[in-house]
Structure 1
Amino acid sequence: MRVTVIRKIESWVVMIAIAANVSGAMVLLALVAIMNVDVISRNLFNAPFRGVVEIVIFSLALIVFLQLPDVVRTGRLTRSDGFLGLMREGTPRFGETLTRFLDAVACVFMCLIVWAVWPEFTEAFESCHFFTPPEFGVAPTGEFWADFKTALARCDYFGTPGILQAPWWPVRLAVVFGCAWAAILFFFKVLLGDAHGTRHVTAQSTGEV
């Protein structure tokens, strides 16, 4: 009964991880489109897309951390697993125990990243003063969109002034979310085992190069 409840909770966690993966794919498609526009405008009209470098840097962080949980879910996180693959084939019980131990270590490391980045996210978000009156600048007018745009202008920004600027907090939120959700998935792997563990085998055993 308890295992059934845990697996039901895991299924919801997995659904959110898949949705985040799709969101990361959409960001990637938008990035590809922007880069194509930059190439076309640069070569045909001698008018490069302003801020494409900043967009690439900003988007890559979103893509990596939005897709991280689903990478963990499917067992495709990059790691050296030759020894682990041998242990799974030769001594399955020891291999399973070692896998759960490594997943527990990974869970701890993901939690440490969340612990380190969370204060940076809250500081960047609070710099916008979305919900609190700012100490300096224009006071809230009561109009949602006008106050929202004014608050965005107060945010801690990344980018080049006069070319492209974007608030830091969405990227830091993506880092917190991606690592937190990856930690949760690693935790479920420790409890229930790695359903995708059979994929972690050596290249020699699969015929891959």
Structure 2
Amino acid sequence: MLSALLILFVTSLIVLDVLGRGLFNKPLTGTVEIVSNIIVVIAFLQISYSIQTNGMFHTDMFVNLLPEGLKKFVRLLGELAGAALLGMMIYASWEPMLHSWSIGEYFGGGQFRFPVYPVRTVVVFCCCLAFLNYLLRAFDAVTGSNSSVSQEEL
């Protein structure tokens, strides 16, 4: 929901910037800074949802050829690999996020500067949620249950 509102906001901002440039030769100040940071937020807000609804890209062409027990093992490995990747992203982003807050990091210069520390915080928070989702899916792979929600159920 929040990402949809942000997409609407970014779209409106771009339209206003284009109209301002074209009609009045006055671009909207800060459009580049805002849009480039909000796109990152939109992408990371979608990650956990995509994992939970099986929306992440995966190929099971070869997995379907495996025996059932091996399928579960491969699924477990995939979920643990996703959790490991997100864990590394959290580890790599944690210090930069804290540093960003401590110095009050901003992007851009001149007339408009966009605060980066909330964006870094959203990235770390969303990576934590995605990490937990992968751990839950790994637990499901071990137990044989399925706590994923399909998009039709939402």
* TM-score by shorter chain over 0.5: yes
| CA distance in 2: counterparts of 1:105 and 1:175, whole angstroms | 19
* Residue deviations 1:171-208 (CA, integer Å, cap 9, x gap): 11111011111110000000013555999xxxxxxxxx
Pick from 72, 79, 84 the counterpart of residue 108 of structure 1: 84
**TM-score, normalised on structure 2?**
0.84
Aligned pair count reads 147
SS in 1 for 2:9: helix
Instruction: Note the residue ranges of structure 1 that are not aligned, 5 or more in a row.
Output: 1-21, 128-154, 200-209
Superposed displacement of residue 93, structure 1: 3.2
Shift of 1:61: 0.8
Q: 2:113 aligns with which of 156, 159, 165?
A: 165
Contact 1:103-1:186 within 8 A present in 2 as well: yes
1:47-86 matched pairs, under 5 angstroms: 47-79=26-58, 81=59, 84-86=60-62
Question: In structure 2, what is the Cα distance between the partners aligned to 1:116 and 1:61?
Answer: 16
Q: Does the 8 A contact of 1:88 with 1:96 survive in 2?
A: no
Structure 1 stretch displaced more, 186-195 or 30-39:
186-195
**Cα separation, 2, equivalents of 1:40 and 1:61:** 24
- 1:124 maps to which residue? 100
Q: Report sequence identity in percent.
A: 23
Structure 2 residue 70 is the aligned partner of structure 1 residue 94: yes
2:139 corresponds in structure 1 to 191
**Structure 2 unaligned blocks of 5 or more:** none
CA RMSD of aligned residues (A): 2.2
Report the Cα distance in structure 2 between the residues aligned to 1:198 and 1:70, rounded to whole angstroms: 10
TM-score by length of 1: 0.64
